[in-house]
Amino acid sequence: MKKVAIIANRKRKKALKLKDQLIKLLPEDYIVIDKHTDSQGHAIDLTLEAIQENADFIIAAGGDGTINEVVNGVMRATEEQRQKIIVGLFPLGTGNDFARTSKMAKSVKELSAHIVNGVHKNIDLGLVEYYDNEGVKQNRYFDNIAEIGVGAKTVEIVNKSSKTLGGTLTFFLGVLRAFLGYKRQSVRIKTNDFQWVGKIVAVCVANGQYFGSGLGIAPGARLDDGQLSLVVIGNIRIIHFLWYLPKLRKLQKIIHPEVHYHKIDTCEIFSEVKYPVEMDGENIGFTPFSAKVVPNAIKILIN
């Protein structure tokens, strides 16, 4: 018997229906259970519960925040337990950016086929150290992107906004509002072979390629290359952002003296004032923060 555990975002009606839909499609020797989140961070605990209950597959039914919590739950398990778990995603969020890079299943039928076939790959994660509201150092894994700058302000705006316009337009309007109220501060970035000081619009440490509901901020990022992509967007104006938006949508590099791309293993970012740190669609804490790659960290269900 194989056990499939669904970690369902309670706010998504389609997530709550996924269990019954999968039961109809999977063979009889598959057991399907679901666990529903009640608050931010709850999916981490539910994932650990599912692992203790000997789940073979853990499916995050939600958005980038849900899969991030599932990943962090898996990483709290023992290495022996992690080797037995395959993580999947049924994308139901506002941005769904990790699903764009990882080519996750887009239908329940496709998801059930992936589960039966068990086709998976090992991917890297990023591990970030940052500071919480009380100034206590914390750490957390990310599967997609961690960043500071206008993106963190955008996430704050989007998470408080109605999603009736859809993810792409909601994020676009959020970026415009964030730019209008954004005060550029100076940061210092240090990696093994690159250092940079200056005012920034955004600094992204990327494992996946997209953020902001389809903006291809890190064209060189790969989920399984043992490195992270560092993208520095310096002191550009909003008119430049709008001008280059079509290139971002097409996952193309921006050629501009204030935009820099580097492949890294580790980096440290310091700021003159506390910058919010955004990770996979949630603001988690503040600078200074450091990031490093964790190669071959988890198994994900993939084409």
State the average pLDDT over residues 176-205. 85
Point out the catalytic residue in the list 64, 124, 143, 280: 64
CA–CA distance, 187 with 275 (Å, rounded to integer): 9
pLDDT value of residue 90: 93
Asked whether the beta carbons of 278 and 148 are under 8 A apart, the reply is yes
Structure tokens at 86: 């395959």
Map the chain to HEC letters: CEEEEEEECCCCHHHHHHHHHHHHHCCCCEEEEEEECCCCCHHHHHHHHHHHCCCCEEEEEECHHHHHHHHHHHHCCCHHHHHHCEEEEEECCCCCHHHHHHCCCCCHHHHHHHHHHCCEEEEEEEEEEEECCCCCEEEEEECCEEEEEHHHHHHHHHHCCCCCCCHHHHHHHHHHHHHHCCCCCEEEEECCCCEEEEECCEEEEECCCCECCCECCCCCCCCCCCCEEEEEECCCCHHHHHHHHHHHHCCCCCCCCCEEEEEECEEEEEECCCCEEEECCEEEEEEEEEEEEEEEEEEEECC
Phi, psi at residue 188, to the nearest 5°?
Answer: -125, 130
Asked whether the beta carbons of 204 and 219 are under 8 A apart, the reply is no
Asked whether the beta carbons of 21 and 75 are under 8 A apart, the reply is no
pLDDT value of residue 160: 66
Classify 126-295 by CATH class: mainly beta
pLDDT value of residue 165: 58
- Whether 2-118 and 126-295 share one fold: the answer is no
Q: Report pLDDT digits (tens) over 98-145.
A: 998 887 888 999 999 999 998 899 999 999 999 998 999 999 999 999
Pairing of strands 282-301, 120-131: antiparallel
Calculate the dihedral angle through the C-alpha atoms of 18, 99, 250, 238, rounding to the nearest 10 degrees: 100
The residue ranking higher by pLDDT, 154 or 171, is 154
State the average pLDDT over residues 8-17. 87
pLDDT value of residue 131: 95
Under CATH, which number does the domain 2-118 receive?
A: 3.40.50.10330
Give me the residue spans of the domains in the chain: 2-118, 126-295
Among 81-85, 149-153, 228-232, where is mean pLDDT lowest?
149-153
Give me the chain's average pLDDT, please: 89
Q: Report pLDDT digits (tens) over 241-294.
A: 778 888 888 999 999 999 999 999 999 999 988 888 999 988 899 999 999 999
| Active-site annotation holds for 265 | no
